[in-house]
Amino acid sequence: MTATPVRPLSGWRVLVPRPTAGRSPAVVALAAAGAEAVVVPLIETVPPEDPTELDDALLALESGWFGWLVVTSAAAVPVLVDRAQESAGSLPQLLADGHVRVAAIGPGTARALREVGVEPDLVPQGRSTSRGLVEAFPAPTEPARVLFPRGDLAATTVVDGLQERGWDVADVVAYRTVPAAPPPADVREAWTDGTIRAALLTSASTVRELASRLGTPPTTTLMIGIGPSTAAEAARLGLPLAGIATEQTMLGMVDALTRAVTTVLPAPIPSPEELR
């Protein structure tokens, strides 16, 4: 009889601290590796208090005022879809009417756009960082205007970088990041006693909420960061990472966790400065 292969994360419970559908890629990938996903959102995104500026920008997008739409987070996509339906119709039709090109910061954001019928024209290769997006962006052409719908906590890297390259950037808050409901008591207990053996850290704001609400885990808990800004915030708060995703997606984080678990002598994790 052939022995059943041991899956790399067999028996592991892994904290996924973001809103995730039941059959999301992360949940499926963790299950395939033998792990149980403990989905407990620590943050949530909500619309801006006044969507007027975003609505006006979408109407200008439809008219051809902007040459590019730059999207640096999958969280912006449902907001754009909802506001487009409110003010101008579907997002794909709005972009087509305005002959607007679309840039996505990385594969995760590109996937979110494709799921709503928008095919990105630019997805930088390599790590999904704001700096990488700016470096991959083309030189200005008419209309040399960019719409950048962002979260309220986004850094100024994209705006500053594109402006330095000669683009006129409309910097519009599309959503706000706020703390989610407190984690259940059983999750807090499992985090403290090490029953939850790993966590996937998806953003700097997630790191802050994890540190605030759950505290420092046992030293045996493996934490995986999605990218440089997340790694930098974890380092600032004294949370050591066992790995950083090569591809800045949930699947990339599961892959990084699997490597961290299965590698006997893992290579040193690069510093946030080395990743920039």
Name beta bridge partners: 151. Answer: 175
- 83 φψ region: left (φ > 0), alpha (ψ -120 to 50), beta (else): alpha
- Give the helix/strand (H/E) hosting 171: strand 168-179
Q: What is the pLDDT of residues 112-121, one digit of tens each?
A: 999 999 999 9
**How much is the pLDDT for 20?**
60
Q: Domains plus CATH for the chain?
A: 13-42+182-275 (3.40.50.10090), 46-178 (3.40.50.10090)
267: pLDDT strictly greater than 60? no
Residue 26 CA from chain centroid, whole number? 13
Answer for the pair 108, 74: CB distance below 8 angstroms, yes or no: yes
Phi, psi of 108 (to 5 degrees): -65, -45
Name beta bridge partners: 224. Answer: 200, 243
Closest CA to 136 of 154, 153, 119, 121: 121
Indicate the pTM of the whole model: 0.82
* 55 CB-contact burial (10 Å; exposed 0-12 / middle 13-18 / buried 19+): middle
Answer for the pair 61, 147: CB distance below 8 angstroms, yes or no: yes
Q: What is the pLDDT of residues 17-51, one digit of tens each?
A: 876 655 677 888 899 999 999 999 999 989 899 99
Answer for the pair 132, 126: CB distance below 8 angstroms, yes or no: yes
108: pLDDT strictly greater than 70? yes
Our CA dihedral for 259, 260, 266, 267, rounded to 10 degrees, sits at 80
Answer for the pair 11, 193: CB distance below 8 angstroms, yes or no: no
